[in-house]
Structures are given as structure tokens and as C-alpha cells.
Amino acid sequence: MPNSDHSDLELLNRILYNDEKAFNLLFERHWLRVYAVSFRYVKDEELALEISHDIFLNIWNKRHSLNISSFRSYVVTSASYHGIRKNQQKKAVPLKYVESYEAEGDGLMTDHPSVANAGDEKMLIAELDQKVKISLEELPLRCREIYLLSRQDHLSIAEIAEKLGISKRTVENQLTIALKHLRAMLKYTGMLFF
């Protein structure tokens, strides 16, 4: 049974044999550092938390194929990479669908403000909302409740834990489960583009 005296490498070797306790020890030992690095880039608590959970979730899911020599360096580098990537995504200029441009004079396009096809956007948003609602119904009641408190009511992890009388760790775990479930649904339906 692993304990906090084990090195990162020993714990990492144990998770290759599906040892969840070893994984939890690694998570508890490093998640705050990963969160801090992520937050430094994205300047958003929820997004930094999501990045942190995604990194650890990926480690668990890919534990049999990863070759990590320094766990701390690996998670800090991952947090930096994901933080930079999310920052770039936030700064990216969105492309808008335009039905047609009017040509002027010599037939060259001139600077017209781009016009989004609002009908298509509304249909896609409505379709996505419906898929998310259906997917949320598949979650256990407590998991769904925690997700909705986080995303709809915009409560922090600490506020959710206090409101429901549960630990912050339980809230974090349930949010991770909900996000993983939603990502799988979006990926399966072809609506996940990143």
C-alpha cells in the first residue's frame, strides 16, 4: 500500500498496475502546482482547474503508454503547454460564415464587415444544448447537481462543497467525471473541435 513516503517514480510505477491510491497520492502531491502554472497562463480559476484535471485524467487514462522520467517536470510542462494553448485559443479571431460578398469596381473584394449566418449558429447552439442536456441526464444525480452548480450557478468548488456538505475533493472528482462524460459525448457526436 503506497504512502506519502514513496517517491514520485515509485508511485508512478504503481499506477501502471492500476493502483488508484498511488495515483491519488501523486494527484494530491502535485495538483496545486499544476493549477498554479495553468492559472499563470489563463488567469481564470475554473479554466485552470479544468486544465489541471484534464492533465491528471490523461495521465491515468494513458498510464500504460506514458514514459515519464520526472513526474513533476512532466506535469508542470503539461500545465504550461495547455495554458499557452488555451490562451492562444482565447485570442484567436473566430471565423464567421458569410453567405456572399459583393464585388466592387474591379471585382476585388473590399473590406466589408463579416456577417455571421445567425440562423445556422442558433441551430448549432440549440442542437449542442440538447445534446448536453441529454448527456447530463445520463450522469448520477449528485454528479449532475455538482456540474450544474459549477457551470450554471457559477459557484466555486469551495462554495459547492459547503452548500452540499461534502469535501472539495469530492466536488473536484465529480466535476472531472462530468467533464469527461461530456467530452466523450461531444467527441462521439463529432462536435468536439479541439
In a domain, 134, yes or no: yes
- CB-CB contact of 116 with 77 (8 Å): no
pLDDT at 138: 86
In a domain, 81, yes or no: yes
In a domain, 194, yes or no: no
d(CA 168, CA 158): 6
Residue in 47, 34, 31 with CA at minimum distance from that of residue 80: 34
* One domain, residues 127 and 84: no
In a domain, 13, yes or no: yes
In a domain, 117, yes or no: no
The pLDDT profile of the chain, 194 residues, written as one tens digit per residue, is 566 678 888 898 899 889 989 989 988 899 899 988 888 888 888 888 899 999 998 889 888 888 888 888 888 888 888 888 887 777 766 666 666 555 444 444 444 444 445 566 667 667 777 777 888 888 899 998 998 898 888 888 899 999 999 999 999 999 888 888 877 776 655 544 43
Full residue range of the structural domain in which residue 169 is found:
122-189
CATH number at residue 148: 1.10.10.10
The total domain count for the chain is 2
Integer distance in angstroms from the first to the last C-alpha of the chain?
Answer: 38
3-state helix, strand, coil in the chain (%, to 5): 65, 0, 30
Q: Which residue has the cell 449558429?
A: 121
